[in-house]
Structure 1
Amino acid sequence: MPSPVSADRPAAQPPGRGSVEALIRQTRQLKGDVDAVRRDTRSDGPDPEERWQRALYDLALHQLNDLDAHLAQLRDGPVRPAGPAAPGGSLLPRVGSAEWDLLTDQAIWSPELYHILGLDPARPALTLDELPGLVLEEDRPRLTAMVTACLVDAKPIDGEFRVVRPDGTVRTVHMMGEPVLGADGGTASMWAVLRDVSELRRSQRTVHETRDSLHRHRREQTGHRIAAGLPEAVMPPWHGSLRLPHQGPAALDLAAHRLPAETATLIGTDWYDALELADGQTLLTVGGLTGEGVAVASGTAMLLGAVRGMAMSGTRPGRLLTLLNRLLDTTAQPTLGSAVCCRYLPATRTLVWARAGHPAPLLYRDGTGHLLDAPDGTPLGASPGSAYDESAVPLRPGDLLLLHTGALLPEHGGTTAVDRLLGLATRFGPGHTAQDCVRTVVKEFGGPGREDDACVLAARVTA
């Protein structure tokens, strides 16, 4: 209920009733359109983007409801009986007005303001000195500063504070007001429009929360895609048996496979690799790190790169694992890992190998299989000063070596998976390629229910 004279401008003339009715019709049409689209989205579904969209639609409807109620008040005048709102409007008025006369210390409130503050309309309106008693203690300085700036410096009021209603509920109120000047140019009174914005702010918080959740979800998806792609980027992209390029037919027949976990969100951190070295020897390695996620997947890529570099420089398996253990201890996020590192010497058909907390390779010969005698070797990252012993094994043409990561072998019905794996010896005969043997292992161990990724690498001595 502004005074005819304010601090900086005369009071605006009310718009024509017909123009307000037209705005109300447009607002309600838009509300119906927004609500129709809103009903097609879910607020409780698993998709973060859909929840964010629903929150935005809810916020838009809150704002349109407020606009509808404001236009209805503009049409009907500043004072009207409390009761059901017009169709589509708020059930309780959310905008009220007040004027405080500084000369008489009298306050005049509209009925809507009593509803907003939860006060009895039969009681006298609160004075400016009494109003802070309704406000939360931490918001009182803000209200005091706004009112003081208005009365002393003739500054407009535009701010929010929270009030505690007599029933204990807390409402957020947005207050806009101006000083009203008297004939002598001094401040005679102050008028204000107070709006209950509790639901609006709640909807805005929901939008912010769902938006933040959506951003986190997208970052996680991006990180997951990057990490999930690292194994494919750094491990050999084998889709069948592979002969290393410079050894000709009389060397090793190689094949490998990565068995994914049943849960697609888990990121594998196991690796396999075979690399022809400068001296004509061959590197064979499998390993993995504990944990999951982008950091661990990138650590796996780093370790595999280090293995390749040291192997190419001629570092023997035991020394290589010793250096790899020290490298893992110096990383920003220390973790544990395991690995088997082998060098195959084709001139003598000798396998020189070492392990770090990893299952030993299996050797299949003449229809039987057995574990290679394992040298000592603590897990990577467990003890920075560890040194790793080596073992040398003579091989024959037709022998099959099988290297695998630990996740391949869960316990099974009282019989260890190693026994099951050794029991495949009769299916790994001389007539089967390395790829045939890998397919047999995948068929046996790659069924549903796998909790972790696993890798298997087969190498058959061809001559």
Structure 2
Amino acid sequence: MPSPLFADRSAQPPEPGAVDALITRTRRLRGDVDAVRRDAVVGEDGPHHRWQRALCDLAVHQLDDLGAHLGQLKAGLPDERAVDSSAAYAPPPGPDAPRSPGSLLSRVGSAEWDLLTDEVHWSEELFRIFGRPRQTGPLSLDELPSLVFAEDQPLLQAMVTECLIDGKPIDGEFRIVRSDGRVRTVHMTGEPVLDDTGGTASMWAVLRDVSELRRSERAVRESRDSLHQHQRIAHAERRAAVELQEAVLPPWRGSLRFAHEGPAPLDVAALYLPAASTGLIGGDWYDALTLPDGDALLTVGDLTGHGVAATSSMAMLLGALRGMAVAGIRPGALMGHLNQLLETAAQPALGSALCCRYDPTARTLSWAQAGHPAPLLFRAGEGRALSRPDGMLLGATGGAVYEEAETPLLPGDLLLLHTDGLARSGGTPDDTTGRDRLLALAPRLATARDAQECVRAVVAEFGDGPRADDACVMAVRVGGGS
């Protein structure tokens, strides 16, 4: 006794115009999703883009299924011709996702097992799902588990038993192995059909091949898990980079004092400015310390790269710089040693650096640079960039020679040292716009009470807008006295 809900039996269709409108909207949405998949994420790699592609694929599969069901609804599913109704919904095939003819409706079939006559009715689609020739006939309920995965057989048997004995509806999935060796995932829904006495006369079911859908869902889960793992790793690496940077570059503000009864101290303030993207923790540094011979070391620099590798290389380089400065090595020679250190490091990198040695007795600044912006000198309300001695980027080539320059300073002079990420916002390295903006701060810096207020003025000028790279700035005011 066939169920009135049997999938291959004709049913009264709804109003055709309403279904046509739904089909049109589904087709249009399917095309939009396919365009996103094709144009926005294809060709990219990485956890985030794999997750996007998987979500798009899943959405396409679900829209294909929706379109197929709407096509069946419109056609009314005449006997033995259900597959022809695929013409009612023809989603435009994407170039990267070809589909075979009839592949949509071949994923839905139906069956009814008559318990009184032992007759079994299968739709044509169900034979296709199971990969079973029509002439071999349908499978009985006892034969059905023979094609089901061993670990899924208890689930199928439980569903059938509960349906036949307890009258419970069927709703579950199991995997089958077809005669051609292909594994398919089948979702089965159904219910018992009762006779006049309330006994179970037959069981009907609709079986849907959801293999592609489950594969897409699995791809979404796996890509999402990969993305989350990537994010966890990135977060841990960023945290390690931040902690290492903070250990090496604590917020700096204070005075560099010299020998008792010696010259007035230098007033120094420095600050690290992060990039607009919080993931770009880089290798910028600053440092200021009094050396054993009474001179002062003032330095800023920037290593290429971001993350733990950049900050660890920065810590190594800054440690070597401090050690050589304490040992009395002059700025030009010191740059040569740093260049050799970077060139032979296990993690090759390029870096720019500025190393200054201030003699408080003679009030002279001896300095060398390696592909770095020159110090800016502010005096009597005006500013200028010092003329740079020759010096190429650290790590660029072996045996590089770095010249050394000497600049006399006066009481009240202000030196501004910075890395190029401060004044450059996406322009070329030769762009002087940022430098000109710094020099234009001369009147404001002349009235600043201390070096810390000078740093605040610089941050007010450059710190509010988005910065493509992280940066450091150091303000050094020369103490007064004759």
So what's the TM-score if we normalise by structure 2? Answer: 0.57
Q: Does 1:439 align with 2:459?
A: no
1:116 aligns with 2:129: yes
Contact 2:267 2:479 in 1 (8 A): yes
Corresponding residue for residue 256 of structure 2: 244
Runs of 5+ unmatched residues, structure 1: 1-46, 59-90, 97-108, 127-158, 175-194
Q: Distance in 1 between matches of 2:285 and 2:394?
A: 14
Equivalence for 1:369: 383
Determine the C-alpha separation between the residues in 2 that align with 1:311 and 1:379. Answer: 19
- Tell me the CA shift for residue 95 of structure 1: 12
The equivalent of 2:424 in structure 1 is: 410
Which residue does 1:423 correspond to in 2?
440
Identity %: 49
Could you list the per-position Cα deviations for residues 370-427 of structure 1 after superposition, in whole angstroms to 9, with x for gaps in the alignment?
1112110001111111011111112111111111111222379x97222221122222
| Residue 399 of structure 1, aligned match among 413, 429, 432 | 413
> Aligned partners of 2:230, 2:448: CA distance in 1, in Å?
52
2:231 to 195, 206, 217: 217
Work out whether residues 354 and 367 of structure 2, in 8 Å CA contact, stay in contact via their aligned partners in 1.
Answer: yes
Q: Does 1:232 align with 2:211?
A: no
- Aligned residue pairs: how many? 316
Residue 395 of structure 2 aligns to which amino acid in structure 1?
A: G
Counterparts of 1:222 and 1:94 in 2: how far apart (Å)?
52
- Secondary structure of 1:250's counterpart equals coil
- Contact kept, 8 Å, 2:251 with 2:270, in 1: the verdict is no
Mark the runs of 5 or more structure 2 residues left unpaired by the alignment: 1-46, 59-106, 113-119, 139-174, 187-207
Structural mapping, 1:384-395, within 5 Å? 384-395=398-409
CA distance in 1 between counterparts of 2:389 and 2:451 reads 26
Partner of 1:316: 330
Deviations 1:87-141 (A, max 9, x none): xxxx968999xxxxxxxxxxxx9959736324454x1269xxxxxxxxxxxxxxx
Compute the displacement of 1:354 (Å).
0.3
SS of the residue aligned with 1:208?
Answer: helix
Return the alpha-carbon distance in structure 1 between the equivalents of residues 244 and 110 of structure 2.
Answer: 56
Q: Is the 8 A contact 1:95 1:116 kept in 2?
A: no
Return the alpha-carbon distance in structure 1 between the equivalents of residues 441 and 299 of structure 2. Answer: 22
* CA shift in 2, pair 1:235/1:434, >3 Å: same
SS class of match (2:285)? strand
- DSSP 3-state at the match of 1:243: strand
- Structure 1 114/369 Cα, relative in aligned 2: closer, same or farther at 3 Å? same
Q: Report the CA distance shift for 1:211/1:370 in structure 2 as closer, same or farther (over 3 A).
A: same
Give the Cα–Cα distance (whole angstroms) in 1 for the partners of residues 403 and 332 of structure 2: 5
Which secondary structure state, in structure 1, belongs to the residue aligned with residue 410 of structure 2?
coil
Question: Partner of 1:342 in structure 2?
Answer: 356
Structure 1 residue 450, shift from structure 2 partner: 1.5
Is residue 472 of structure 2 the alignment partner of residue 458 of structure 1? no
Instruction: Tell me how far apart the structure 2 counterparts of residues 201 and 381 of structure 1 sit (CA, whole Å).
Output: 49
> 1:59-80 CA distances to partner (integer Å, 9 max, x unpaired)?
xxxxxxxxxxxxxxxxxxxxxx
Runs (4 or more) in structure 1 with deviation over 6 Å come to: 93-96, 162-165
1:259 is displaced (CA, Å) by 2.0
Find the counterpart in structure 2 of residue 297 from structure 1: 311
Q: Is the 8 A contact 2:258 2:265 kept in 1?
A: no
8 Å Cα contact 1:286/1:340 also seen in 2: yes
